[in-house]
Structure 1
């Protein structure tokens, strides 16, 4: 177990290093100049050169990358070109929205998918199964931003149950904040719930054909007891792995959905920073989201080993 955990930890660190290199190189090839964006088209060459020196843009790319790695190793972020404040403050403010939005979307995804997957699996090849899988196929085909627009038209414009966008802040209370996140969370969850429902159904059907299930039936156990006590525990192993991947998709999806609903989260901050050529903010935010995704998948990988002893390798 300890050797397996060490191997996964080393893989985690190597993945983080590779991700940082990709993010840095991707932003290096973007056209434009941050100093030019800040000072405008009429700035003199001397002023531009002075600002580039102040921002450290005149240093070689490899030196800037090494400095960035050193800052991350000490859990520090740089200062925004545009806002003039530490990136950590900007990120901290917006994480209070993005993380609750992602967790709410993940909760909706999990509950809806498990219920739909169990319902379909227990009615295999019947009308309920066919209907549920048809709905899930439609859910997979719907883009999140398009579904978000439909939700706004229905629940905000027509029914007026929710606001079309914006966020009142947690200072106004928990319920007003959660109410503002319900439609964005639903638009994020629809695709992931459809995918997870199909995976849950497949996992349950596979376990239902195992020998221990036939043994439990031969002993006279009730079908409901077999499903909840024996089948689900074994079927959830691959399902949990898929949920780890989906958390990554939900984090990435916030970039689009937050802009549709005009939410001041990490996704909107990245979008605005790209427009302003504020590459320090873009770089640090992308690295933070990437690290969160990698860390979640690492935890899911460890949990997978805990749940399934066969993944621990041969005993020594």
Structure 2
């Protein structure tokens, strides 16, 4: 009997807080003891401890309450106090705010006019006004072997894209932005690791390339509001992005100047696509719908802006990416490291 109690004791130490409520453990202790010694002591300890107070912290709380982390007793019991001071068993009709991964309530951000900032993917200080004074005909003539290799690779990839999307420029823009955001992230990541290995600065290039990736991602978030992707288009993203990410990763490891030059030519093709997009809007073949709210806040567009204004801003961004990547490739062709020449200014 003593041997059995020694084995049950440690087991109850783990299970008592989980299986028994305070009331249950109290009855077990006060009733006729089935076991003595260590076992009775463990039941008593469990009875004195509230179940709610020994729960492990829960990461990723997705509501404003901190009940799982030690909130008030009414919240833990499922009761909520209404405006008149009473309690109700039914949950509130108001949606609970989404908070950060750690269960912390985010700070409230407001616009200049005092209204609440509704976007968590970017903040007011990350917005800007696009510079629309761009050179649409600017082109880097492929003279060297690597230039020609990058140029014809991009030209070859354009044919299946034109065949698949035809003149559906809204879907085309949305799908291509899922790929366009990859190069800046890959290049910034590799330069980040290189900076750590060499114990040296990056000349601001890491931030510039990551800003490029973030800017391309915001293009996607904008066009998502205009054109909803079909299931087969979403499936295509997995395939194309998986192939392109690994291909660009290897290309950047082998030759950064080739990788940047290819992105420069990709951006030239993007400028051409958005120019055709604008022509279709002007002809009336594509409805010039009001600009999404996310685009108005991101580019500081007027409240009455339309899809055409958004496409103009996006095209200007692509022209900036074109110039930055051709410039980065030129630096490598000159035998210099990116860190030796400061990165161009950002989007502001």
Scaled by the length of structure 1, the TM-score of the pair is: 0.23
Larger Rg: 2
Higher helix share: 1
TM-score of the superposition, structure 2-length normalised? 0.21
Structure with the greater relative contact order (CA < 8 A, sep ≥ 6): 1 or 2?
A: 1
